[in-house]
Amino acid sequence: MTIVPKGYRFAVAAAGFKRPDRNDLGLILSSGPAVAAGVFTTNRFQAAPVLVCKAALAESPLARAILVNSGQANACTGDEGLANCHATLDIVSEFARVQPEEILPASTGVIGAQLKMELWNQAGLRLAGTLGRAKPMDVAKAMMTTDTFPKLVSKACQLSGGEVRLLGMCKGAGMICPTMATLLGFLLCDADIEPRAWREMLTYCADRSFNALTVDGDTSTNDCLLALANGAARVRVSSKDDLESLRQCMLAVCQELSYRIVQDAEGGTKVAHIVVSGAKSHPQAELAARAIGNSPLVKTALFGCDPNWGRIIAALGRSGADFEPQDVVLNIGGILVFEKGQPAPEDLDALLAPVMRHQDVKIELCIGPGRGTFTLLASDLSKRYVEINADYRT
């Protein structure tokens, strides 16, 4: 059962941006001003909605709505793309009864094409007609592209002043690699919280979830994670304990959504949980984990259920992480595979065969006596991934 935070309404419409038979436009509207925060792609080519969002959040810590569309990325579209993005906010602001600058836009789709503004003008009325009747799941479905299922998670959190609710939704299946992956993510909360604390909480959670996964090593032009907290529950986040409770709740939502992205990776069949410990620092552990998770050879071995642990060791060796080879201990699925510079003496192929057939495969590497750790979720790489992306625009 979806737990919906208080004070939010939802709307969807079929605008026909890519196909005429599905909803591809969604709106999330808060009943009052909400504290807003965002985390965005680090790609130097940032899409028009990303630029508009960043400018709006730099101007004000408050927002009233999130507007999302699929089928049109509005990326690499220059001044015309920026003007069109602002025009879409004007269209929605009229029936939503908010100012255009209070709406945070997000788009996903093919890079390079200008928005089909005639379709936006027609879709505005249809979007208005569903406001308050649509459900969060409808918006989660409307922003899907190559996703095979919608991704929606909600939780309740007990604070000193009462219960607050947090709901998260996202889309993403391919072109995914931190920092920020090709995803759109929205977090909605009804707690009353200070803007600075909300921003810091979002960054903390993003770094441990959406920035700790990889599908194919690509980072998009449109990635954004937006969070609203409107205070409609009338529960103030007033203590360190409250902040920590809400932060852990947000982290749980973000990590569950992140898992579903990797689970739904384009053509994916496996989720690798790559845990690196014992590094000299957390960034060193991250270097190691990312080299393994992004290795095509490791990913294809996962797809083939091949316990080729040598590919993992080789990826670690070229990662740039600082360690001594003799210190490395590798376990796969809880089975000791490699230590003291050589493989374990058992029949590893026989021991690992059932482990490699599971959807979730845990790869644990201790690379020294240090305190640095990092956990990365990674997908495998299949024939189907190539087919999907070879035919993406057709």
Q: What is the DSSP string of 325-348?
A: GGG-EEEETTEEEEETTEE-SS-H
**Most distant pair of Cα atoms in the chain: their distance:** 71
- What is the assigned CATH class of domain 8-263? alpha beta
Q: Is 333 left (phi over 0), alpha (psi -120 to 50) or beta?
A: left
Which run of H or E residues covers position 38?
strand 25-40
- The neighbour count for residue 277, using CB atoms within 10 Å, is 18
CATH architecture of 271-390: Roll (3.10)
Question: Any bridge partners for residue 187, and if so which?
Answer: 168, 227
- What is the tens place of the pLDDT at every residue in 222-259? 888 999 999 999 999 989 999 999 999 999 999 999 99
Q: Tell me the C-alpha to C-alpha distance, in Å, between residue 271 and each of 100, 199, 357, 358.
A: 40, 29, 11, 9
Q: Is 334 left (phi over 0), alpha (psi -120 to 50) or beta?
A: left
Domain ranges of the chain: 8-263, 271-390
Q: How far is CA 308 from the centre of its chain?
A: 29
Contact 235, 159 (CB under 8 A): yes
Write down the pTM of the prediction.
0.91
Q: Tell me the C-alpha to C-alpha distance, in Å, between residue 281 and each of 17, 130, 248, 374.
A: 46, 51, 23, 9
Contact 186, 68 (CB under 8 A): yes
User: Average pLDDT of the chain?
Assistant: 93
Q: Is it the case that residue 392 has pLDDT exceeding 70?
A: no
As a whole number, mean pLDDT of residues 322-337 equals 97
Q: Give the confidence band of 173 by pLDDT, cuts at 50, 70, 90.
A: low
End-to-end CA distance of the chain: 36
Give the residue numbers annotated as catalytic, written as ranges: 182
What pLDDT score does 265 carry?
A: 78
Would 8-263 and 271-390 be classified into the same CATH topology? Answer: no
**What does the block give as tokens for 19?**
């196909």
As a whole number, mean pLDDT of residues 352-358 equals 95
Instruction: Give the span between the Cα atoms of 48 and 45, in whole angstroms.
Output: 9
